[in-house]
Structure formats: structure tokens, C-alpha cells
């Protein structure tokens, strides 16, 4: 499962390629999952739980491989992540999208997210957007 999650992440986020060891470490603090259509990998999902610094906010990230977009998989992954975030006590839901992923940005906005921050990680040239869910 972690290798499949890594594959989807690295394909969609080429500016932040993760090793399998980094994915394993990430799985210790976040909830990671993958989605399949039969035996075919279609996407992955991450839920970053609320922290002691911000006990009301969780981050839900749904990523769908390009050949499987527009078929409802993103919505299913997002709904699953949203339910997990709520179980973890989140009142506020955020997501992050790499600016070079316009499909991801459109999807987030279609789910009711609005941009609250744009930032650049050290050494990066492509910005990230933080978006917050404003309805539901």
C-alpha cells in the first residue's frame, strides 16, 4: 500500500518526490490510503490530523492519477478523508494543492474550498496553495 501511495504522490507532486522511507515516516503521523478500481491503482489520500498547535484543523488531500480523473474517485477519496478528519475532532478542513496541478485546484474549489494562502517551499519554484473548506 505504501509503495502505491508513494507512486501516486511522486507522479502528481514531482517537486517533492518522496523515498519509501520518507513515506513510512509520514505514515507514522498521517493517515494514508490508496484507491483502486479492481486491481488498478487510481489515487491516494492523506489525512493530516489536528495538532497541538491547531487542535481544530485537519488537512485532507485527495490525489487521482490523470487517467482516472473526472470519474468520481476524487470525491470518494475526499469524502473518506473528511469522515476520518471529523473522527479526529477537526472542525476546520484544509487541503493543499501544487500550483502545477490545475485539475486538483479545480476539484478542491468544486468541493467548496477557497484559497487562504499561497507559499513557496525553500528551494522550490512552483508555489503551493492552502485552501479551506467554507461550506458543509
How far, in whole angstroms, is CA 78 from its chain's centroid? 8
**Alpha carbon distances (Å) from 14 to 72, 98, 135:** 24, 10, 30
Residue with cell 476524487: 74
pLDDT tens digits, residue range 61-119?
999 999 999 999 999 999 999 999 999 999 999 999 999 999 899 999 999 999 999 99
* Architecture (CATH level 2) of domain 2-133: 3-Layer(aba) Sandwich (3.40)
On the question of pLDDT at 136 being above 70, the answer is no
Task: Report residue 122 as a C-alpha cell.
Answer: 525553500
Amino acid at each position: 500500500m505504501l509503495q502505491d501511495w508513494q507512486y501516486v504522490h511522486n507522479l502528481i507532486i514531482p517537486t517533492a518526490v518522496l523515498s519509501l522511507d520518507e513515506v513510512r515516516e509520514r505514515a507514522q503521523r498521517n493517515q494514508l490510503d490508496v484507491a483502486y478500481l479492481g486491481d488498478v491503482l487510481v489515487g491516494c489520500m492523506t489525512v493530516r490530523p489536528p495538532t497541538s498547535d491547531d487542535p481544530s484543523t485537519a488537512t485532507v488531500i485527495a490525489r487521482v492519477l490523470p487517467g482516472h480523473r473526472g470519474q468520481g474517485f476524487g470525491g470518494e477519496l475526499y469524502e473518506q478523508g473528511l469522515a476520518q478528519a471529523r473522527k479526529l475532532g477537526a472542525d476546520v478542513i484544509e487541503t493543499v494543492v501544487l500550483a502545477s496541478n490545475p485539475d486538483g485546484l479545480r476539484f478542491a474549489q468544486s468541493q467548496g474550498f477557497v484559497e487562504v494562502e499561497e507559499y513557496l517551499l525553500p528551494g522550490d519554484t512552483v508555489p503551493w496553495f492552502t485552501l479551506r473548506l467554507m461550506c458543509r
